[in-house]
Structure 1
Amino acid sequence: MAVLPTLRQLRFLVAVIDERHFGRAAEVCLVGQSTLSAGILELEQLLGVRLFERTKRKVSPTPVGRELAERARTLLREAQDIVELARAAQAPMSGPLRLGVIPTIGPFLFPRVLPRLRSAFPELKLYLREEQTEPLLARLDAGELDAAVLALPYPSRGMETIDIGVDPFVVVCPPGHRLSRLSAVGHDDMAAEDLLLLEEGHCLRDHALAACALEGARRNVAFQGTSLYTLAQMVANGLGVTLLPQMALDAGILRGLDLVVRPLSGEAPFRRIGLVFRASSARKETFRRLARALEGFLEEAAQEKGKTFTAPARGARRSGAARLDS
């Protein structure tokens, strides 16, 4: 029987491909550089091919090294799934869980919900990573994250989704602005304004425009926010009006600012909030319980605001959006 590469050697290979540097790869793998270099050399001798072109200044993967690394990623993910399957069978709400979250949700949801999650699941160790949707999904696909809390819809191949609630959009403008004199703002009213949005790359930008039917609205392209906090400050400085999610308002994003909030007329527009994970993951029971806990928090928050909450239908890969009626 042929001698096969070890998972440790494959992990070394992937780390060097990612870091393009033996020293940094060794740090990622928590080993010394000599140990990592020896492991790569053993793998090359075992396979009979060169995996890297080495110079004093850089390390470049060979074509076969690059292809082998991609296959190694799949093997490493599946090996991790085996470990997670065993752990989940014993205690689904225990151990580490690497959870991604986007910047338009993380600062407004998790400071309020984390204490409750710690109380409900004391053996679960949550590690949060905040990043935009596309890189989070890439990390999720690569096995660097276990799940992610995202705003939907968003294309995500090979993933399953559990809806945990919805987040309505509202209009924010300065006092004395013509929109502040309206009890509810219509789409035509918004289309005539300088609309301040997040910069490209933030999914909330597209969700807000689509949900509020404002794809053709005039946009203040000269000023684009890097965060929701920046948008609020720009509105306070008279640069235009914006759309903010209710979640951010509830977390106090407008505290200390002299601004007016108005609902949009008609059916309340919203973005869906969902928990996304790999379809192949062995921790689906963990994700179901976590999603239900997050859904419960959003439901209670909505009731405190005097709104009617409609929970999404149970089950993974859920379709359709729940509603929060103002």
Structure 2
Amino acid sequence: MIKIRDLEYLDAIDTHRHFGRAAEACFVSQPTLSGQIMKLEEHLGLTLIERQTRKVMLTPAGEELVTEARNVLRAANNFEASAKALLDPFSGDLHIGLIPTLAPYLLPHIMKDLNEKLPKIKFYLHEDKTKNLLKSLDDGKLDLIILPWLDEMDKFDRYDLFEEPLVLATSKDHELSTAKIVNLSKLKDFEVLTLEDGHCLRDQALGFCFTAGAKEDHRFQATSLETLRYMVSSNMGITLLPQLATVNHHITNTIKYIPFEDPKPNRQISLMLRSGYSRMQCIRAVVSSVKASMKEVL
């Protein structure tokens, strides 16, 4: 009989492509994991793993069946979550995914209220790029994600939380720094510093900049908003930053944050979850708490 644990081992091997790391992720020894996978292969009469000296790969049969394995694991997790929700919808673990350009600036404003309003929920926070978070949500490894809404996310259920304006960041010595408010068209012909590929904020900001006639500064692509901020403060260029990243920031004596005139460039921050997710009472409580918290901030 195939066990849930066997499917977890197969999932881990596909994720890590290494028996040792997969065993570590499953909290078992490598011989235990390897032996169980061999038993699974014998039971199915199929070779699932292509074992090479320096790497581990799934065979075509393994690639097809690991998708089915994840569907079963997701269903099992949903079953367990539904049972717990019947006992107490406001208790248990909740895994939340956020992107790096949002997590450090949003969490200080929402976690205190969430912990107070949902004291029996144990929150696990996961920071990653958008593509990886969407996959983890789809695979059932996350309960929900909070990130800027993009059109390609329409396969998930969505709760809009708030709109976050983008502001212009310049050094105090830049020619635009004296403006108290700026029209997006003022960026025409300026070069704008950006994040590296993989950050959804990069694409959103560039969309606004290109519409205004600005250009991307190709000399450097930052890995974080903090890198962008310090480049701007050194008068190496200008950029667009989310408003939350400017709240209570400590180097405002070297950098200017200038709001845009209407219509302001912004990003829609939304909570997303899988269709049919079982713990909806808990989700609605999270949505309500975050909305209330952010009204005080924005």
TM over 0.5: yes
Letter in 1 for 2:268: R
Among 70, 75, 81, the residue aligned to 2:72: 75
The residue that corresponds to 1:279 in the other structure is 275
Q: How does 1:195-274 map to 2 (within 5 A)?
A: 195-211=192-208, 214=211, 216-252=213-249, 254-255=250-251, 257-274=253-270
Structure 2: distance between partners of 1:138 and 1:183: 41
Q: Deviations over 1:275-320 (max 9, x none)?
A: 1111132123222211111111111113xxxxxxxxxxxxxxxxxx
User: How far apart are residue 38 of structure 1 and its match?
Assistant: 2.9
The farther-off stretch of 146-155 and 123-132 is 146-155
The structure 2 residue matched to 1:10, chosen from 7, 12, 24, is: 7
CA–CA distance in structure 2, aligned partners of residues 143 and 50 of structure 1: 26
Do the aligned partners of 2:137 and 2:143 also contact (CA within 8 Å) in 1?
yes
Q: How does 1:83-94 map to 2 (within 5 A)?
A: 83-94=80-91
Return closer, same or farther for 1:227/1:19 CA change in 2, 3 Å cut-off: closer
Q: Tell me the alpha carbon deviations over residues 150-194 of structure 1, each in whole angstroms, 9 at most, x when there is no partner.
A: 012241253111111111111121224332233321222112322
Query: Any idea what the Cα deviations from partners look like across 1:26-59, whole Å, max 9, x if unmatched?
Result: 2222222333233222212221222223345443
Aligned-partner residue type, residue 180 of structure 1: S
Shift of 1:243: 1.3
Q: How many residues align?
A: 298
Equivalent residue number for residue 177 of structure 2: 180
Deviates more, 1:76-85 or 1:146-155: 146-155
Query: 1:59 corresponds to which residue?
Result: 56
C-alpha spacing 1:67/1:215, structure 2 compared with 1 (3 Å): farther
Determine the C-alpha separation between the residues in 2 that align with 1:51 and 1:223.
Answer: 43
Q: CA–CA distance in 2 between the matches of 1:17 and 1:224?
A: 31
Q: 1:211 touches 1:271 (CA, 8 Å); kept in 2? A: no
Aligned pair in 2 of structure 1 residues 230, 54: CA closer, same or farther (>3 Å)?
closer
- Segments of structure 1 that go 5 or more residues without pairing to the other structure are 303-326
Would you say 1:295 and 2:291 are equivalent positions? yes
Question: What CA distance in whole angstroms lies between the structure 1 residues aligned with 2:261 and 2:196?
Answer: 26
Q: 1:61 to 1:224 in 2, by over 3 A?
A: closer
Q: Deviations over 1:215-255 (max 9, x none)?
A: 64122111222211111111111112111111111142x53
Question: Structure 1 residues 14-23 or 224-233, which shifts more?
Answer: 14-23
Identity among equivalent positions (%) equals 38
**Once structures 1 and 2 are overlaid, which stretch shifts more, 95-104 or 181-190?**
181-190
- 2:40 equivalent in structure 1: 43
Match of 1:125 in 2: 122
- Read off the aligned partner of 2:233 and give its amino acid letter: A
Mark the CA change 1:215 to 1:192 in structure 2 (over 3 Å): closer, same or farther: closer
Q: 2:93 aligns with which of 93, 96, 121?
A: 96
What displacement does 1:133 show?
0.7
Measure the CA separation in 2 of the matches of 1:193 and 1:212.
9
Quickly say closer, same or farther: Cα 1:57–1:132, change in 2 above 3 A: closer
On the 8 A contact 1:174/1:259 being kept in 2, the answer is yes
Distance 2:20 2:218 in 1: 43
Instruction: Return the letter of the residue paired with 1:247.
Output: L
Shift of 1:197: 1.8
The secondary structure found in structure 2 opposite 1:179 is coil
Q: Is the 8 A contact 2:189 2:213 kept in 1?
A: no
Return closer, same or farther for 1:212/1:10 CA change in 2, 3 Å cut-off.
same
- RMSD between superposed Cα atoms in Å: 2.0
**Conserved in 2, the CA contact under 8 Å of 1:212 and 1:269?**
no
Q: 1:160 aligns with which of 150, 157, 163?
A: 157
How much does 1:139 deviate? 1.2
